[in-house]
Amino acid sequence: MVASNTQVRINAQVGSRTSSQGTMFRKIIISFLIAAPFLGAGAYGFAGSELPNWASSVVFLVGALLAVVGLVSVDRVIPPLSLVAGEDLLVSRHPTMRPAFARMILSAPFIVGAWYLFEFTLTPYVFPFVLFVVGLFLFFKGSTRYLRNLNITYTVTDRRVVQQYRFLRLNTKEIPAARIISISEACSFFEIITGRGSIIISSGIGERQTIRMQYISDPGPIAESIRRLFD
């Protein structure tokens, strides 16, 4: 029986490591996919496009920066929240990635349309430029949101609500349950189309007095668990 239990624990540890490695591999692939359009556009500019060299350099450097930030973030592990004596953990969540992916996917028609107008038509440059800027904005917003979400953890206990953000340094924002004055739910356009939502917890006026739990799947039960702190 002891040998059997030991084997079960070993199998569980091996399965956990395998799952962790698979998750890290997927994050690495996604990080390179995020950087690839910028790296490709920069390389295309250097290879003989009509784009000026300074513009190609800027686009390429943006892609390289995104790749570096993604690789730094893939194995980021935020330390679990240290609970005080008698404190109970209620919820611990990470933001989901679907709204970020939705932004990046939505940017594709604008970027492809800008490339087509620029290369294959005599349309004035202002039109492909506007399309490219819109597509680049959507893609950049989605990619930066994805990279930011990799480093965020939201935690709710019976005494406080905590947001932890760790990238190069740990930044913790905390609101004690006794100081919460309002709890509300909100959905942006990209949260609506991906079935996600946000919970806004406030203890006063100002950024440091508000925690916005963004891009949470099934946020209703989390909001209800926070409201029960007042019962």
Whether 43 is covered by a domain: the verdict is yes
Largest CA distance in the chain: 78
- For 145, other C-beta atoms within 10 Å of its C-beta total 20
Whether 150 is covered by a domain: the verdict is no
Total of domains in the chain: 1
SS3 per-residue string spanning 59-117:
HHHHHHHHHHHHHHHCCCCCCCCCCCCCCCEEEEECCCCHHHHHHHHHHHHHHHHHHHH
* CA-wise closest residue to 63 among 183, 4, 144: 144
Could you give the count of Cα atoms lying within 13 Å of 146 in the half-sphere of its Cβ?
29
Query: What's the average model confidence in pLDDT over 74-80?
Result: 61
Q: Quick one: CA dihedral 129, 149, 74, 33, positive or negative?
A: negative
Whether 207 is covered by a domain: the verdict is no
Query: What's the average model confidence in pLDDT over 106-132?
Result: 87
Q: What is the pLDDT of residue 14?
A: 36
* CA-wise closest residue to 215 among 144, 145, 135: 145
Query: What's the average model confidence in pLDDT over 25-44?
Result: 77
DSSP helix/strand/coil, 195:
coil
Residue with structure tokens 């330390």?
79
Q: DSSP labels for 144-166?
A: HHHHHHTTEEEEEESSEEEEEEE
Query: What's the average model confidence in pLDDT over 20-49?
Result: 73
Q: What is the pLDDT of residue 73?
A: 63
Q: What is the pLDDT of residue 122?
A: 85
CA gap 177, 3 in Å, rounded: 46
Q: What is the pLDDT of residue 110?
A: 93
Q: Quick one: CA dihedral 178, 181, 186, 188, positive or negative?
A: negative
Q: Give 3 or 227, the one with higher predicted confidence.
A: 227
Task: Answer yes or no: is pLDDT of 198 > 90.
Answer: yes
Condensed to tens digits (0 to 9), the pLDDT of residues 147-165 reads: 888 888 899 998 899 998 8
What is the average pLDDT score of the chain? Answer: 79
CA gap 98, 193 in Å, rounded: 9
Which H or E run contains 170? strand 169-176
Whether 41 is covered by a domain: the verdict is yes
Whether 60 is covered by a domain: the verdict is yes
Range of weakest confidence among 11-15, 65-69, 96-100 = 11-15
In the chain, % of residues over pLDDT 90: 11
Whether 195 is covered by a domain: the verdict is no
CA gap 106, 14 in Å, rounded: 39
pTM over 0.75: no
106 pLDDT band, cuts 50/70/90, is: very high
Domain containing 31 equals 1-75
- Residues 169 and 130: beta-carbon distance below 8 Å: no
Q: Give 200 or 48, the one with higher predicted confidence.
A: 200
Whether 58 is covered by a domain: the verdict is yes
Whether 80 is covered by a domain: the verdict is no
